[in-house]
Amino acid sequence: MLIYLYAGYNLSFDRYHKNAGNVFRLVMELHLDKTEFDKGAPYIEYQTLKTQYPQVDKAAFLISNQSFIVNINGDVNKRFKEENTVSFTNSEWFDLFSHNWIQGDAHVLDVPGNVVLTEKAVRKYFGNTDPMGKTILFDGKPVKVAGILADAPFNTDLKGDVFLSFSSLNTLIPEYATDKYFLNDWGDIGSIYTAFVSLKNPGDQAVVEQQLLAESKKHFGVNAKLFVFKLLPLNQVHFDTRYGGTVQKPMLWNLMIIGILIMAIAVINYINIVVAQQTKRGVEIATRKVLGGSTWQIFLQFIVEALLNSAIAIIAAFAVVLLMLPVANTYLFVDEPVYILSYFNLLAFTGIVLLCITAGTGIYPALLLSKVNIMRAMKNNLLNIPAGFGRRVLVVFQNTVTQALIICTIIMMMQVYYLRNTDIGFNRKSVITIPVGQLSATQKEQFSQSLRQMPAVQSFSFCNKPPSSNSQRGATFQYDNRVKWEVTPVRFAIGDSAYTRTFGLHLVAGRNVRNGQATAEFLINQTMAKMLENKHPENVIGKPISTGDYKGVVVGIVKDFNVKSLIEPIEPSMILQINELQTNLAVKLSGDETSATLNNLQQSYQRILPDQVFSFQFVDEQIAQLYKKENIQQKLIWLGAVIAIVISSLGLLGLVSLVTLQRTKEIGIRKVLGASVTQIGLLISNDFLVMILVSFAIAAPISWWAMDKWLQGFAHRIEVHWWVFALGGFTALLIAMLTVSVQSIKAALANPVKSLRSE
């Protein structure tokens, strides 16, 4: 049920919108030596599609991830920091996507100075007061509340609580008023620019993409082949990680397969346990037959028993899932909670599972037990059901699944630990980042003086983000006196002269950058230096580089560092000093008196930026967010492995019970003849030991193949050694043998006189 909820919840994302099947997101591929993917689209492309393409029915544009200080009634206690949660759009967005309006309508966003809030934002800002018509301040600038939206469903990637009218953009963010590229440049592409279109006929997708290729030739000339604009169907947005998707469909299919396998071994084990228990009902079954009971009646009796057992289990599971879901959202699905969208669908799924389990657990035992020999059953009170080849195959199957899950879990835990705790080329320990926005030179100096007086502050830097982050900043560039621009783009890390010290970046050649130089100075990593000057990388020092609007000279080379997650390979990277993008303050702490230092930082922050709201985040936490998808996957596989271990142990217990029942007389005779408890225990355990070893021989190559394929998705990955498989196999063997030993020792300790007398 839990896997069904997780998979069904993710598969339902943004399918509730009216005409969702006709809606597409505009995305871009940049074809350099390695293809780059961007979920953003230029504003001019949206305008062109809306006005010049007959295949387009509607189009919408939104600028997302904007940050503001929101102030209510000028009250200091009602000041809120909205970090990357505010959007700019107009009524077209709400014509394209389904929203429930509580007050107002979409057209209020076509008027400058208006804002629309969701119910969640209203509760946050105004409590139970009606906000309609009231004025609130965004970075000190007045905006009127003109509409209220119902909170969006959980299953959407198009989240937003605050929508400002698009025509207010230049007023609230003056930089756009002077931006000569935003409105008219096809190359002005950013991930915060979100454009969607709905087509009159979804089948026209390929036609529109071909027309977009022609547009590229018109606007990019000889570079047209580099820029490829595409349409991504709305139902793929959640799953395409190239364009910001958060879940991959193969992971959902893998989880479903694991769920099916767990159910299969549960059914197998239930059959073994039921057959072992019902062998003592020989006299009951034979008596029913003597008194006129038909095979069909006895068959139906066992089916009903299986149905009742399964129904009780299903009801209990349903209750457990309802109780577990809040806990799972807290510890398992962190930052991506799962919600029950439809109790009807969940009940329907539960009903189907109930029927399948009843059929799987009831039919075989019922057929087996309804066809007993009357005379033999009356004589022995035990059913003679051999544990033949078929049952051995089932034991091997369930242990193969269990051992494969154990091995995969170990490898995934090691890889996730490696990703979260390994830094390539920098040190993020005890570093925090504090959003400060664009600071004046005076404010930077005030911060610097305050920080220098704090003993626990080892270093600090005005920067954009840590070296490893989810930033997509970068551009193509021109090196030295080469006529052609390089085909490989460079990634940007933005910081001042203290950036290298704060994050522990290692200078290997040249010198560090200096603040306030007339000519911009750059640091580049070893990969970029080697790419530009293969034989003598140090020759790049002193050479000019032009990239985008930035021109400067290389003054040093730093040891390779990764500007993205370790899933990606190390790319050519550059550290630039761009003052307007230095919107964070990174502080390296010594680890002593951290709480007191944070209090001092907050006091300095509030003194220097009295209109702002203090917040901070450890870089460790930011980097952990880069691997949340892998972390969730590892936890789910681990949970599946634990359940598989428990169920397979129960199955082994049932099968051992059946075997010991069938060998009661043999065990009694062996004890009379002097066999020890150890010898009898080994006698019963030997067969199971062989089956478990066979399971390991099958599980090891399967899990190696699966994990090798999974690890290929990471540029930086662990090496899988033989001891991982040995550990997985030994764990499964130990658990299985403990399970078998409990029942075999119990049988070995039984009084042989009683067992022989009963025979």
**pLDDT tier at 373 (50, 70, 90 boundaries)?**
low
Cα distances (angstroms) measured from residue 78 to each of 139, 140, 161, 172, 244: 13, 13, 17, 20, 33
CA 502 from centre of chain: 30
E strands, 442-548, in order: 457-463, 474-475, 478-479, 490-494, 507-510, 520-525, 544-547
Query: For residue 93, which phi and psi values (nearest 5 degrees)?
Result: -60, -40
Give the mean pLDDT of 436-447.
91
pLDDT at 388: 57
- Give percent of the chain with pLDDT exceeding 70: 93
Provide the b/e sequence for 390-399 (b: ≥16 CB within 10 Å).
Answer: ebbebbbbbb
Give the C-alpha separation, 563 to 560, whole Å: 10
Per-residue pLDDT at 133 = 92
| 231: number of Cβ within 10 Å | 21
Higher pLDDT, 683 or 83: 83
Return d(Cα 232, Cα 550) in angstroms, integer.
32
pLDDT of residue 753: 62
Res 92 pLDDT > 90: yes
What number of residues does the chain have?
Answer: 759
Assign 658 a pLDDT band (cuts: 50, 70, 90): low
Positions of E strands within 109-185: 114-118, 135-138, 141-149, 162-165
Helix (H, G, I), strand (E, B) or coil at 339: coil
User: Residue written as tokens 């100096």?
Assistant: 445
- Give dist(CA 234, CA 596) in Å, integer: 48
Helix (H) or strand (E) holding 171: helix 169-172
Question: Taking all residues of the chain, what is their mean pLDDT, rounded to a whole number?
Answer: 85
**Alpha-carbon gap, residue 87 to 165, rounded angstroms:** 9
Which is nearest to 739 in space by CA: 652, 642, 647?
652
CA distances from 62 to 80, 87, 177 (A): 22, 7, 17
pLDDT band at 281 (very low <50, low <70, confident <90, very high): low
pLDDT at 611 over 80: yes
> Per the confidence metrics, is the pTM higher than 0.85?
no
* pLDDT value of residue 390: 64
- Check pLDDT > 60 for residue 383: no
Cβ atoms of 265 and 239 within 8 Å: the answer is: no
For 531-573, the pLDDT digits (tens) are: 998 888 889 999 999 987 789 999 999 999 888 877 888 889 9
Output DSSP code: residue 464: S
Whether 114 contacts 165, CB under 8 Å: yes
- Which backbone phi and psi does 68 adopt, to 5 degrees? -145, 160
pLDDT classification of 266: cutoffs 50, 70, 90:
confident
Residue 164 pLDDT level (bands cut at 50, 70, 90): very high
Q: Look at residue 207 and tell me whether its pLDDT is greater than 90.
A: yes
Query: If pLDDT is split at 50, 70 and 90, which confidence band does 391 have?
Result: low
Is residue 61 over pLDDT 90? Answer: yes
The radius of gyration of the chain from alpha carbons, rounded to an integer in Å, stands at 33
Residue where the block lists tokens 């349903």: 318
State the DSSP H helix or E strand holding residue 290, giving kind and residue range, or none if neither: helix 282-290
How far apart, in whole angstroms, are the C-alpha atoms of residue 565 and residue 466?
Answer: 11
Q: Is the pLDDT of residue 432 over 60?
A: yes
pLDDT value at residue 431: 92
Band (pLDDT 50/70/90 cuts) for residue 143 is very high
Q: Name the pairing type of β-strands 114-118 and 141-149.
A: parallel
Q: State how far the Cα of 191 lies from the Cα of 470, in Å rounded to an integer.
A: 11
Residue pair 194/64 in contact by the 8 Å Cβ criterion: yes
pLDDT of the residue at 203: 92
- Rounded to an integer, what distance in angstroms lies between the CA atom of residue 211 and that of residue 520? 41
User: How many other C-beta atoms lie within 10 A of the C-beta of residue 755?
Assistant: 19
Residue-level pLDDT at 163: 96
Summarised one tens digit per residue, pLDDT across range 687-719 is: 778 888 898 999 999 999 989 988 888 888 888
Residues 166-179: pLDDT tens digits? 999 999 998 888 87
Neighbouring C-beta atoms of residue 275, cutoff 10 Å:
22
Mean pLDDT of 217-235: 86
The residue that leads in pLDDT, 229 or 655, is 229
pLDDT of residue 380: 56
Per the model's pLDDT, the better-predicted residue between 525 and 679 turns out to be: 525
Where is pLDDT greater, at 487 or 155? 155
Over residues 487-503, mean pLDDT: 90
> Quick one: average pLDDT of 413-436?
85
Give SS3 for 3: helix
Please state, in angstroms and rounded to a whole number, the distance separating the CA atoms of residues 678 and 682.
6
* Tokens 């599946």 sit on residue: 640
> In the predicted model, is pLDDT for residue 54 greater than 70?
yes
In terms of Cα–Cα distance, which of 252, 342, 354, 394 is closest to 688? Answer: 394
Name residue, tokens 């190390």.
570
Instruction: Out of 16-20, 263-267, 613-617, pick the least confident.
Output: 263-267
Binned at pLDDT 50, 70 and 90, residue 118 comes out as very high
Which pLDDT value is given to residue 461?
Answer: 95
Q: Tell me which residue of 122, 144, 120, 147 sits closest to 134, measured CA to CA.
A: 144
Q: Which of 81-90, 254-263, 361-370, 632-641 has the lowest mean pLDDT?
A: 361-370
424 or 492: which carries more pLDDT confidence? 492
pLDDT of residue 750: 67
| 188 pLDDT higher than 80 | yes
**Across 31-40, 156-165, 189-198, 573-582, least confident range:** 31-40
Q: Decide: residue 75, CB within 10 A, 0-12 exposed, 13-18 middle, 19+ buried.
A: exposed
One-letter amino acid for residue 55 of the chain: Q
C-alpha span between 24 and 234 (Å, rounded): 5
Does 386 have pLDDT greater than 70? no
Q: Is the pLDDT of residue 529 over 70?
A: yes
Q: At 375, is the pLDDT very low, low, confident or very high (cuts 50, 70, 90)?
A: low
Other CB atoms within 10 A of residue 138 CB: 21
Q: Give strand pairing partners of 165.
A: 89
C-alpha span between 570 and 627 (Å, rounded)? 17
Determine the Cα–Cα distance for residues 430 and 456; give it in Å rounded to an integer: 11
Q: For residue 251, what are its two tokens? A: 């992971």
How sure is the predictor about 757, in pLDDT bands with cuts at 50, 70 and 90? low
* More reliable by pLDDT, 676 or 240: 240
Neighbour count for residue 463 (Cβ, 10 Å): 25
How far apart (Å, rounded) are the C-alpha atoms in residues 265 and 253? 18
What's the number of CA atoms in the CB half-sphere (13 Å) around residue 90?
13
